[in-house]
Amino acid sequence: MKKILVSIMCLWAFANASFAQVDSNPSLDIDDIEVIVKGINVAPKGDSVTLELLLHSYLKDPRELTINTFASGLINPQGKVMFYESMMMGKVKVVFADRQNYLHYFLKRNEPVLYTIKTVNWKKVWGKPQQFRMTLEDHAEPGKFLQVDIPL
Protein backbone atom coordinates (compact mmCIF):
# COMPACT_ATOMS: atom_id res chain seq x y z
CA MET A 1 0.00 0.00 0.00
CA LYS A 2 2.86 2.35 0.84
CA LYS A 3 4.49 1.63 -2.53
CA ILE A 4 1.29 2.52 -4.38
CA LEU A 5 0.88 5.74 -2.40
CA VAL A 6 4.51 6.73 -2.99
CA SER A 7 4.16 5.91 -6.70
CA ILE A 8 1.04 8.06 -7.01
CA MET A 9 2.74 10.96 -5.21
CA CYS A 10 5.80 10.68 -7.47
CA LEU A 11 3.65 10.64 -10.60
CA TRP A 12 1.67 13.65 -9.37
CA ALA A 13 4.87 15.59 -8.59
CA PHE A 14 6.36 14.70 -11.98
CA ALA A 15 3.17 15.73 -13.82
CA ASN A 16 3.11 19.12 -12.09
CA ALA A 17 6.80 19.71 -12.70
CA SER A 18 6.58 18.86 -16.39
CA PHE A 19 3.92 21.51 -17.00
CA ALA A 20 5.92 24.32 -15.42
CA GLN A 21 6.90 26.99 -17.92
CA VAL A 22 10.15 28.86 -17.92
CA ASP A 23 9.99 32.38 -19.36
CA SER A 24 13.17 32.77 -21.40
CA ASN A 25 12.21 36.31 -22.45
CA PRO A 26 11.28 38.25 -19.33
CA SER A 27 9.07 41.29 -19.82
CA LEU A 28 9.04 44.73 -18.26
CA ASP A 29 6.06 47.07 -17.96
CA ILE A 30 6.77 50.72 -18.78
CA ASP A 31 3.95 53.28 -18.93
CA ASP A 32 1.29 50.62 -19.74
CA ILE A 33 3.51 49.08 -22.41
CA GLU A 34 4.90 45.57 -22.07
CA VAL A 35 8.49 45.41 -23.32
CA ILE A 36 9.82 41.96 -24.22
CA VAL A 37 13.42 41.32 -25.28
CA LYS A 38 13.07 39.28 -28.46
CA GLY A 39 16.72 38.98 -29.44
CA ILE A 40 20.24 40.37 -29.29
CA ASN A 41 22.63 39.80 -32.15
CA VAL A 42 26.30 40.75 -31.92
CA ALA A 43 27.96 40.81 -35.35
CA PRO A 44 30.68 38.16 -35.88
CA LYS A 45 33.32 40.91 -36.00
CA GLY A 46 31.89 42.32 -32.77
CA ASP A 47 31.63 45.83 -34.21
CA SER A 48 27.82 46.15 -34.18
CA VAL A 49 24.83 44.97 -32.17
CA THR A 50 21.21 44.57 -33.22
CA LEU A 51 18.57 44.50 -30.48
CA GLU A 52 14.96 43.46 -31.05
CA LEU A 53 12.22 44.35 -28.58
CA LEU A 54 8.50 43.62 -28.78
CA LEU A 55 6.26 46.43 -27.52
CA HIS A 56 2.67 45.67 -26.57
CA SER A 57 0.21 48.34 -25.38
CA TYR A 58 -2.21 47.57 -22.55
CA LEU A 59 -4.31 50.70 -23.00
CA LYS A 60 -7.86 50.33 -24.23
CA ASP A 61 -7.53 53.23 -26.66
CA PRO A 62 -4.75 53.55 -29.25
CA ARG A 63 -1.93 55.86 -28.23
CA GLU A 64 1.01 57.64 -29.77
CA LEU A 65 4.37 56.44 -28.52
CA THR A 66 7.15 59.02 -28.66
CA ILE A 67 10.72 57.83 -28.11
CA ASN A 68 13.61 60.26 -27.67
CA THR A 69 16.15 58.74 -30.06
CA PHE A 70 19.22 60.58 -28.78
CA ALA A 71 18.55 59.64 -25.14
CA SER A 72 17.89 55.97 -25.96
CA GLY A 73 20.52 53.35 -26.73
CA LEU A 74 22.59 50.39 -25.62
CA ILE A 75 24.68 50.96 -22.52
CA ASN A 76 28.34 49.95 -22.77
CA PRO A 77 30.29 48.47 -19.82
CA GLN A 78 31.52 51.96 -18.84
CA GLY A 79 27.89 53.09 -18.38
CA LYS A 80 27.75 55.34 -21.46
CA VAL A 81 24.74 55.27 -23.79
CA MET A 82 25.87 54.36 -27.30
CA PHE A 83 24.30 56.19 -30.23
CA TYR A 84 22.31 54.07 -32.63
CA GLU A 85 22.87 53.71 -36.37
CA SER A 86 19.19 53.02 -37.03
CA MET A 87 15.95 52.47 -35.12
CA MET A 88 12.90 50.87 -36.65
CA MET A 89 9.44 50.41 -35.19
CA GLY A 90 6.98 48.68 -37.49
CA LYS A 91 7.55 50.45 -40.82
CA VAL A 92 8.90 53.67 -39.27
CA LYS A 93 12.68 53.95 -39.58
CA VAL A 94 14.95 56.60 -38.09
CA VAL A 95 18.59 56.83 -39.15
CA PHE A 96 21.15 58.62 -36.95
CA ALA A 97 22.50 60.58 -39.92
CA ASP A 98 19.06 62.22 -40.33
CA ARG A 99 19.38 63.73 -36.82
CA GLN A 100 15.73 63.15 -35.98
CA ASN A 101 15.13 63.69 -32.26
CA TYR A 102 12.00 61.58 -31.88
CA LEU A 103 10.50 58.40 -33.22
CA HIS A 104 6.68 58.57 -33.26
CA TYR A 105 4.53 55.45 -33.54
CA PHE A 106 0.79 54.83 -33.14
CA LEU A 107 0.38 51.82 -30.81
CA LYS A 108 -2.83 49.84 -30.83
CA ARG A 109 -4.06 47.44 -28.17
CA ASN A 110 -3.30 43.75 -28.77
CA GLU A 111 -1.03 44.52 -31.74
CA PRO A 112 2.58 43.95 -30.65
CA VAL A 113 5.14 45.87 -32.69
CA LEU A 114 8.79 45.01 -33.29
CA TYR A 115 11.28 47.71 -32.23
CA THR A 116 14.75 47.14 -33.72
CA ILE A 117 17.85 49.10 -32.72
CA LYS A 118 21.16 48.76 -34.54
CA THR A 119 24.28 50.16 -32.88
CA VAL A 120 27.71 50.41 -34.50
CA ASN A 121 31.11 51.09 -32.90
CA TRP A 122 30.53 48.29 -30.41
CA LYS A 123 33.75 46.67 -29.22
CA LYS A 124 34.12 42.91 -29.37
CA VAL A 125 35.73 42.81 -25.89
CA TRP A 126 32.49 44.19 -24.44
CA GLY A 127 30.64 41.04 -25.48
CA LYS A 128 26.86 40.99 -25.34
CA PRO A 129 25.22 44.19 -24.05
CA GLN A 130 23.59 43.99 -20.63
CA GLN A 131 21.23 47.01 -20.71
CA PHE A 132 19.26 49.22 -23.08
CA ARG A 133 18.16 52.70 -22.04
CA MET A 134 14.74 53.65 -23.37
CA THR A 135 13.49 57.22 -23.07
CA LEU A 136 9.81 57.67 -23.89
CA GLU A 137 7.14 60.27 -23.34
CA ASP A 138 4.72 59.65 -20.45
CA HIS A 139 1.25 59.18 -21.97
CA ALA A 140 -0.48 60.62 -18.89
CA GLU A 141 1.68 63.76 -18.73
CA PRO A 142 2.73 65.04 -22.19
CA GLY A 143 6.15 66.68 -22.20
CA LYS A 144 7.46 64.50 -19.38
CA PHE A 145 9.89 61.77 -20.43
CA LEU A 146 10.51 58.50 -18.64
CA GLN A 147 14.00 57.02 -18.76
CA VAL A 148 14.17 53.27 -18.08
CA ASP A 149 17.12 50.88 -18.23
CA ILE A 150 15.94 47.55 -19.62
CA PRO A 151 18.00 44.53 -18.55
CA LEU A 152 18.96 42.28 -21.44
CB-CB contact of 35 with 54 (8 Å): yes
What confidence tens digit (pLDDT) does each residue in 24-58 have?
Answer: 567 888 988 999 999 999 999 889 999 999 999 98
What confidence tens digit (pLDDT) does each residue in 83-130 have?
Answer: 999 999 999 999 999 999 999 999 998 899 999 999 999 998 998 999
Is the pLDDT at 63 greater than 50, yes or no? Answer: yes
